[in-house]
Structure 1
């Protein structure tokens, strides 16, 4: 039955279970490390994961990311613990056959650890005395104890690296209603004196993202040209709800498009300012409210003949200047300050519509505005009026030196200045097949808010969305890129309406007429309040003015006050860009957009569209600290396992891992220890240690040696040489 352990096979020395566990555990640990690194870096070049691998996207979009990491951590802990269990037995063998040996009181426990143990913690008591820490096996045991302890927190460490991210989901096809059978939700609301001002009096609560492309570039800024231009811009309204728009990454299908261009030129004004007089009651002068103060006269502008498409409304045959056009426009001014400060700023301007051409062409048309701007108060204007006999002031010629770009500057008096520009708006609506995409992880969906600390309105992000003068990308502006916009044919419209079901009655109106009716209603909801008081047959111009002042309340039939939010946004864009063209373009678009999305819940006709949304999921990669710790601990563990196995195979001769009989026999066969064992059949370890301590033998070094009969036994030592250095002298038995 006796066979030298040095001549046994690797299978006998380590056992099939240990070999399998060590090899498989190492492969699993290294494989998991590779997988975790792949998982942490799996988003690829794009942070939204659009270029990530199919497997990575499947795990993340299925919300399996945290579960995957938890399972990986569990497998990793199991592999590390099983390997540490085996390496504890190997370390015990190395300690017994090592140079310094082990204390006699611990010899039995360490011998049994070669066959049965609870992992690295089993050696901690024996290593606590410090002397064995000078040996490599003891150090390996300590390191593996630490790695086993640390790896228990692997799941927590890995999950600490997770973050919430917007990942592009897989494409889906869904029905997107685009239009309404009867546009009863798109109609004027909010009746006011002089007519219904509709959407102009509604609150602009939010500013959704949209898709945009530029058809024609704006005219280059040139002070000599005296013109400012937005270029021809097409924008599409994705027919989706607020929640869907916030996560939209791609939309391919039918949508209402808004194509517009606003160009402003420097005008020549002739006429008078009326209504500046004061009323005398005895010796007291009473200042009126200036509710009827206006500019009456004519306006002309340099003809834009030969310029880009969309500027025809500013062209007048081959003439240098267009013929004077009569105007009667409200005068802008600042009302008196209230006793308490208001969150609304007093920055007045007037949008005076004085001409219209070809307004309806499938919801298309152009309008001419005289934009008047000033920073003067009511008292400033009345002071000017007091110097006259009837409150009428003749408009002076524009200051050529002070006028700049599209603005004419008129000095009414020493302290009163008025600036003016003539703006042409071209707007059309259509239903088109569009492709709208974005690369941003957070499409814009802004809201107008007030910052109490600075007493200012937060409009920067809203301005950035529509600021076409800035050199910013669509992604920076938080909007989508519009491409492949093509008009939907009558046949497509008819098929779309027929698919909708019972609401479609082709005998009453064909599909193109229904779509046209919807677009007319959408257009009229914004523009009707501006032009429904113009009487082309009247000798006196009945211009309609929009009075852009947040606090300046006026009552008249020729002008109206829009909602303060409209004023704030118009003024913000005007002061940000310096161009009335940009401010007017943005304001009209926002009003149209608000009216469209306000009616969205009632849309009943649409088409199947391809949609791609971003999905908010938890993904790794916020930091690499947790991953770094887990990888480091695992690599250290793999290294320690490899070293322990190598040392066991090279430096042990009489130990076989996982075999209980030889571990017990090597203790009981020793003549040194046998008497102690005979008295310890009912003793605790502490009682045996106390007996050895009384005999002064507790810390006596012991180890695995060969006795006179050639048996491998554990006994006290009296020499330094060990079996791994060659022939070992026979032990001299010491009998007590």
Structure 2
């Protein structure tokens, strides 16, 4: 051991062949040339090839999930739909992540074996780490075990490039273990349009053509008054609308066709995106005119509940899309209506407004959804005339204002649509409106780019009033103009000829369009065109004030919606249009579960699904895989170019190359001791301070572990453990 101290020893770089002051050894054996697959080994090549294929398959599935999710608002493959509908998207991500982790881990085992070969042949390792590093070439244990073996000389100049590769591989492998967790951060709840549903759908009640009634005896007329019942929800509907027009003398909402989706579940309606099939459609166009009113008189008989007003009215004949009854237009039309006076329970901000039914033979709306001249009982069609009366003053005010004199005088105002009369401290305004819904069932096409909503009216306890903002928005009853989509409604496709699209023409089905009778309060007990003013019966009056008598009142939610519309827009046409739509919807959906006629339909709905809604995490994982394959490819290229003595996966070679004259003493010592004890002995003898590499021995011709040291400036080899 005393000889060790007299040598100044250090590693001589880039020395592959050395001579030793030892006795000659047997003649060197010839090395057989090896091709690249022999150097890598078939197993390692299979790991590299199949691992790449496995990662490619996993990425293809992941790209499929992400890519289809990007286009889920328009179209998507059937396979993707099945996966996300069954909520398997996260499972696909998990399984793909497992495949990626297994494949990359196996490839990193080959990477570690390659790095071990490069280090042993190009740089060398500490003598104490030689056995493990040599065995790593056939164990495929991963870069972490290699890092522990080379830590003693981790940052030396010769080893640093390989150390950097090892550190990058370990960090990248660690990150890839969280592939699934990383990818799932791209997931979020997303509205997805699902596949098309094709099935028959019920949409109405059958009507016997001969008897005019439902064969199953379903009574649609008994015990119902939708005017006095508020809707639980305000349903989404389909709409086609043309631009309206307005002057000082009239307002026309324009043709406004509204269809009621025949879906039983509320969620199906507000998730509906496309629909083709049968649907009940109504024409909710309203035209209101500023009437010419004369002979106005008021009856304030204290024995009556409310004062009544009689008058003769007419309007200009040049209003577009409105045809007057030519037989009556010359002398006008007489009315007798109840006045809407303020009561004890009226909300102070409410207008004292009522709707007086005039009848169905006053005028005809033109340009409707279908021709309205098919019913012999209604030679002028079914256009309903309704007179709005907007008054001020209580019942007592009206009694005091008139007494024995019953005449009122017209007051000239610039107020559009309303004709104004006044006396003393009471006033009244008139506006005459026409509507003809003509409900019928047709084959339709509707669509929407977004979900809608079935809304409910909200009570505001702070103001003790109903909040009707969203309801008015839904029905387009606002001063501001919003598109059909902005209002959350479906867009109804217009047809050049609606008659040919009727269910009777398309499917030979006759339905009972009973919802028309929902509006019968307009026409009930209406009377007009009497020559004798005193002979005019009092028309049915509907009041939209909270304190009105039961005979005249409507449900408080109807009154709230109507009041807010008329006050905020000043437009009686849109107020009547919204109210009519609500009443018709209530009747239609009230009987929905009892409908007994069906026809083929197809539709698409959306659903909230947990799918990828961004590409950030996917990009991170893709970047990690790029780093992984860059490291593996770099290692393979270096291995094939810079190694000559390592055949990966061969255990006998890994063991045999460790055995040499330089390692004989250490091997002898290690036969009966632990690694820790061997390291202790090596440190005491100074052997642990040297480096060992695999090189071709000049003396033996073997590829073996060789320690190269320098003494007095000359290169020489001292047997490890025997110096």
Fold equivalence (TM over 0.5): yes
How big is each residue's C-alpha offset from its partner over 1:655-691, in whole Å with a ceiling of 9 and x where there is no partner? Answer: 2221111111222x13333322222234333333333
Q: Tell me how large the CA RMSD over aligned residues is.
A: 3.7
2:540 alignment partner in structure 1? 544
Report the Cα distance in structure 2 between the residues aligned to 1:398 and 1:717, rounded to whole angstroms: 121
1:466 alignment partner in structure 2? 475
Say whether the 8 Å CA contact 1:88–1:120 is kept in structure 2: yes
Q: How many residues align?
A: 657
Report the Cα distance in structure 2 between the residues aligned to 1:142 and 1:102, rounded to whole angstroms: 17
Aligned pair partner of 1:591 in 575, 583, 588:
583
Say whether the 8 Å CA contact 2:275–2:447 is kept in structure 1: no
Report the Cα distance in structure 2 between the residues aligned to 1:397 and 1:91, rounded to whole angstroms: 105
Report the Cα distance in structure 1 between the residues aligned to 2:346 and 2:410, rounded to whole angstroms: 31
**2:238 matched to 1:211?**
yes
3-state DSSP class of the match of 1:114? Answer: helix
Matches within 5 A, 1:187-226: 187-189=221-223, 198-214=225-241, 217-223=242-248, 226=249
Higher mean displacement: 328-337 or 262-271: 328-337
Distance 1:437 1:687, change over 3 A: farther
1:531 alignment partner in structure 2? 523
3-state DSSP class of the match of 1:250? Answer: strand
**2:448 matched to 1:439?**
yes
3-state DSSP class of the match of 2:439? Answer: strand
**2:17 matched to 1:26?**
no
**2:360 matched to 1:356?**
yes
Distance 1:26 1:413, change over 3 A: farther
Matches within 5 A, 1:587-626: 587-607=579-599, 609-616=600-607, 618=609, 620-626=611-617
Report the Cα distance in structure 2 between the residues aligned to 1:42 and 1:355, rounded to whole angstroms: 58
1:145 alignment partner in structure 2? 170
Distance 1:654 1:478, change over 3 A: same
How big is each residue's C-alpha offset from its partner over 1:268-309, in whole Å with a ceiling of 9 and x where there is no partner? Answer: 4453555598xxxxxxxxxxxx9934451315242244622x
Distance 1:487 1:710, change over 3 A: closer
Aligned pair partner of 1:252 in 276, 291, 306:
276
Say whether the 8 Å CA contact 2:121–2:694 is kept in structure 1: yes
**2:208 matched to 1:186?**
no
Structure 1 consecutive aligned stretches of length 4 or more whose deviation exceeds 6 Å: 358-364, 453-456
Say whether the 8 Å CA contact 1:450–1:456 is kept in structure 2: yes
Report the Cα distance in structure 1 between the residues aligned to 2:301 and 2:710, rounded to whole angstroms: 121
Aligned pair partner of 2:571 in 564, 567, 579:
579
Aligned pair partner of 2:549 in 533, 554, 559:
554
3-state DSSP class of the match of 2:336? Answer: strand
Higher mean displacement: 463-472 or 436-445: 463-472
Report the Cα distance in structure 2 between the residues aligned to 1:252 and 1:399, rounded to whole angstroms: 52
Calculate the TM-score normalised by the size of structure 1: 0.79
Aligned pair partner of 1:407 in 412, 418, 442:
418
Matches within 5 A, 1:705-716: 705-707=695-697, 708-716=699-707
How big is each residue's C-alpha offset from its partner over 1:44-76, in whole Å with a ceiling of 9 and x where there is no partner? Answer: 6x55233x3455445445654333333322222
Report the Cα distance in structure 2 between the residues aligned to 1:696 and 1:383, rounded to whole angstroms: 122
1:189: how far off? Answer: 3.2
Structure 1: tracts of 5 or more residues without a match: 191-197, 278-289, 339-343, 497-511, 721-727
Aligned pair partner of 1:450 in 430, 451, 459:
459
Matches within 5 A, 1:375-524: 381=394, 384=397, 388=401, 390=403, 395-401=408-414, 403-404=415-416, 406-409=417-420, 418-432=428-442, 434-450=443-459, 457-467=466-476, 471-483=481-493, 484=495, 485=498, 486-488=500-502, 496=509, 512=510, 515=511, 518-519=512-513, 521-524=514-517
Larger radius of gyration: 2
Report the Cα distance in structure 1 between the residues aligned to 2:664 and 2:327, rounded to whole angstroms: 125
Distance 1:456 1:31, change over 3 A: farther
1:156 alignment partner in structure 2? 181
Distance 1:96 1:419, change over 3 A: farther
Say whether the 8 Å CA contact 2:384–2:522 is kept in structure 1: no
3-state DSSP class of the match of 1:207? Answer: coil
Report the Cα distance in structure 2 between the residues aligned to 1:294 and 1:626, rounded to whole angstroms: 75
**2:119 matched to 1:119?**
no
2:674 alignment partner in structure 1? 684
1:447: how far off? Answer: 2.3
1:420: how far off? Answer: 3.5
Structure 2: tracts of 5 or more residues without a match: 1-27, 207-213, 365-371
Report the Cα distance in structure 2 between the residues aligned to 1:276 and 1:672, rounded to whole angstroms: 132
3-state DSSP class of the match of 1:88? Answer: helix
Say whether the 8 Å CA contact 2:186–2:616 is kept in structure 1: yes
2:369 alignment partner in structure 1? none
